[in-house]
Amino acid sequence: MENSRIDRDDAQPVTERIKVDVCVIGAGSGGLSVASGAAQMGARTVLIEGGKMGGDCLNYGCVPSKALIAAANHAHSMRSGAPYGITPVEPQVDYAAAKDHVRRVIDAIAPHDSQERFEGLGVRVIRDWARFISPTEVQAGGTVVEARRFVIATGSSPLVPPIEGIGDVSYYTNETIFDLRERPEHLLIVGGGPIGMEMAQAHVRLGCKVTLVESGRVLPKDDPELAALVAERLKAEGVEIVERQQVERVSLEGDRITLQTGDGRFTGTHLLLAVGRRVNLDRLDLGRANVAYDKGVTVGADLRSTTNKRVYAVGDAAGGLMFTHVAGYHGGVVVRSILFGLPAKAKTDHIPWVSYTDPELAQVGLTEAQARERFGERLTVARADFGGNDRAVAEGATTGLVKVVIVGGRPVGASIVGKGAGDLIAMWAQAIANRQKMRAISDTVLPYPTMSEINKRAAGAYFSPKLFDNPWVKRVVGVVQRVLP
């Protein structure tokens, strides 16, 4: 290697050079999946991570947010027992103790993603930041790694919007909010996507006043009819939701933070930014590797760089859907290609996602609007309300709806809002992934009484008009009844 390749002010002296089959950069869900599979199937594997093992999901995202939501749900149940004959009481919320619960959950899961576990699987783990120094080499600390294949799995970080005055105030993102120990008196949230909505409801249930400002409509990627039910619930619980107003300026007035929009001013004690994500590529020196990138690494359907065939990208780094389960799915696609040389392509039409509000909001495939635009009159929409499900009635969870969009007898999308929507969407994700027809759902026998029967009721709603409103069916039945002995 020529010295000119690492002629940088921050270049560290090289103390070790190694050659491997697979070099994975980033120890989040996607990177860990690739490293684990590659090493256990005999490939010489290096995993490089400059931050925390487990990535964003374990340390700042999915795991801590769901743990905080669980604490908030316990507080909410104490206030909402009247319909069940339980006298409501106002809970005594210890916000710091709730954060202790969050930390315990992270600590309980962390060993699964730990350096020690992966070293036990045969992975060489380097704890430093990686950067390419040529199309075939990366340097991490004093180690230069030459690899046959590289997998970029660097994830993403919270986006800080260029709002006037943002640099003059203290603010939180999902990477820092879980370290806050003192309960906010009034939490301002900028951004009405899943993170913003989940944190708004969790904090109002933990006794905070909450104002959420969104430049468009909240939960914009989801079916608007279903997203509206979530927004209504949050408003009923006390969250002030301000839609279609852009935050133009942020200022500090004494110990209060003020958001200025085109139509108003909103003042609180703490500020959470939840306006989106940006892919972590800045440290990598991708130009030295001849790797093209924009919002993410420029890849084909096989997740391979279009300009350097040694390089793959998975998860957020691939510039598509930013979900932990997508990163894990991408990992499987890449392992198939790298280790076995088999053709493998990543798809998105079967990818589900969930906002873990109460009620939950889940989506897989196309929304109704997307399906109508693509398929027009060929589209059929089947619906089932939670109010028609006996288990939902028993639990007082009748606010909810399953909406399935169907073309040629096959579901191409499903939207669910209601209790346990994240679990209920699994049946539709499986059906879409395996190109099953609606009959696969309607023919399934489900235990009674369960929420899963709502999915079968939606399938029944698809078939009912074909059976009960069809004059030919009635004629056939009439003939059969006359001729049967």
Supply the pLDDT for residue 485: 76
pLDDT at 473 over 70: no
Residues 376 and 319 in one domain: no
Residues 151 and 289 in one domain: yes
Q: Which residues share a beta bridge with 209?
A: 186
**Is 156 labeled as ligand-binding?**
yes
Residues with Cβ < 8 Å from 67, sequence gap 6 or more?
101, 102, 105, 106
Q: Say how many C-beta atoms besides its own lie within 10 A of residue 208's C-beta.
A: 23
Please state the rounded mean pLDDT for residues 95-119: 98
Residues 203 and 258 in one domain: yes
Structural domain containing residue 314: 10-53+114-156+278-340
Supply the pLDDT for residue 5: 37
Question: Residue 262 sits in a domain of what CATH number?
Answer: 3.50.50.60
**Is 154 labeled as ligand-binding?**
yes
Residues 273 and 284 in one domain: no
Q: What is the chain's mean pLDDT, rounded? A: 94
Residues 17 and 148 in one domain: yes
Is position 245 within any domain?
yes
pLDDT at 144 over 60: yes
User: Could you tell me the CA-to-CA distances from 462 to 367, 424, 447, 459 in Å, in that order?
Assistant: 17, 18, 21, 5
**Is 322 labeled as ligand-binding?**
yes
**Is 31 labeled as ligand-binding?**
no
Is position 77 within any domain?
no
DSSP string spanning 356-415? -SSSEEEEEE--HHHHHHHHGGGEEEEEEEGGG-HHHHHTT----EEEEEEETTEEEEEE
- pLDDT-derived band of residue 470, with 50, 70 and 90 as boundaries? low
**Is 53 labeled as ligand-binding?**
no
The total number of structural domains that make up the chain: 3
pTM (whole model) above 0.85 = yes
Is position 345 within any domain?
no
**Is 195 labeled as ligand-binding?**
yes
DSSP state of 179: G
pLDDT in tens, 204-217: 999 999 999 999 99
**Is 276 labeled as ligand-binding?**
yes
Residues 420 and 327 in one domain: no
**Is 193 labeled as ligand-binding?**
yes
Residues 152 and 295 in one domain: yes
Question: Residue 379 sits in a domain of what CATH number?
Answer: 3.30.390.30
**Is 197 labeled as ligand-binding?**
yes
Is position 462 within any domain?
yes
Q: Say how many C-beta atoms besides its own lie within 10 A of residue 373's C-beta.
A: 11
**Is 203 labeled as ligand-binding?**
no
User: Cα(105)–Cα(217) distance, rounded to whole angstroms?
Assistant: 32
Residues 460 and 442 in one domain: yes
Is position 68 within any domain?
no
Please state the rounded mean pLDDT for residues 428-451: 96
pLDDT in tens, 349-405: 999 999 999 999 999 999 999 999 999 999 999 999 999 999 999 999 999 999 999
Residues 148 and 289 in one domain: yes
The residue among 340, 360, 383 that closes a domain is 340
Is position 374 within any domain?
yes
Residues 179 and 215 in one domain: yes
Residues 421 and 326 in one domain: no
Residues 302 and 427 in one domain: no
Pick from 462, 454, 458: nearest CA to 389 = 454
DSSP string spanning 256-288? EEEEEESS-EEEESEEEE-S-EEE--GGG-GGG
**Is 132 labeled as ligand-binding?**
no
The residue among 340, 367, 387 that closes a domain is 340
- pLDDT-derived band of residue 479, with 50, 70 and 90 as boundaries? confident
**Is 196 labeled as ligand-binding?**
yes
**Is 1 labeled as ligand-binding?**
no
Is position 482 within any domain?
no
Is position 80 within any domain?
no
For residues 62, 63, 65 and 68, what is the CA-based torsion angle, rounded to 10 degrees? 160
- pLDDT-derived band of residue 299, with 50, 70 and 90 as boundaries? very high
The residue among 318, 340, 362 that closes a domain is 340
